Structures are given as structure tokens and as C-alpha cells.
Amino acid sequence: MTAQDFEVLTTRVDNTLDQLNGRFRLSVNSLDYRDDTGDEFNNYYSTAWVRVENNEAIVNDLIKACAELHEQTGYWGRYIEQLSYDTDSNTIRVEFGS
């Protein structure tokens, strides 16, 4: 999947803390869809940084990082449906839909 294949349904990062600003990596908890025998969920992390300003992710950064996660997991869903700040990993957790 290439970056232009994504549909961005939200750039808003759900955050229970104060305004979120800075650079963060994306994370996703997913199966490895490239492995037919894989039935365990794992955490995957982008190497690309996503800039966030006032709880809004910068779209170009977001799409680049999502493409990396798709490459790692083999998932085909193209909709970026939800973003939330994960305090444990200091990442933006992304939820994809197909």
C-alpha cells in the first residue's frame, strides 16, 4: 500500500492530558497478516516521526508513518479511523479500518 492509498478520517489525537504538541512515533497493536500461522497480536512502531500541534497530527507525517506500519504488519485497511496518545509508550496509537 502506498501513501496515496490512505483515507484520513481523522487527524485529531484523543488525549486525556493537556494539549499535545511535539513529535511522536505511531504504534499499532496488530496481527502479522503476512504470516499465515501468526495468531498473536504484537505492538509495531513506526520509525517516522509524526508532528502533532494542538492535538492535530500533520497529515503528510501521519500518512508516511501509517505506510510504514502497513509494511510491517501486512494489514490492508486504508482508513485511519482513530488516533490516541499512549502514555506508556509515548506514541500515538493508530486504529485502521478497511
Q: Where are the beta strands (DSSP E) in 15-72?
A: 22-30, 42-53, 56-57
For residue 41, pLDDT beyond 80: yes
The domain in which residue 24 lies consists of 3-97
What's the predicted TM-score (pTM) here?
A: 0.82
> Domains in the chain: how many in total?
1
Q: How far apart, in whole angstroms, are the C-alpha atoms of residue 46 and residue 28?
A: 9
CA dihedral 14, 82, 55, 58 (to 10 degrees): 170
Residues 8 and 62 sit within 8 Å (Cβ to Cβ): yes
Distance CA 35, CA 83 (A): 26
- pLDDT tens sequence across 59-86: 899 999 999 999 999 888 888 888 999 9
Q: How confident is the model at residue 38 (pLDDT cuts 50, 70, 90)?
A: low
- The answer, yes or no, to whether residue 93 has pLDDT greater than 80, is yes
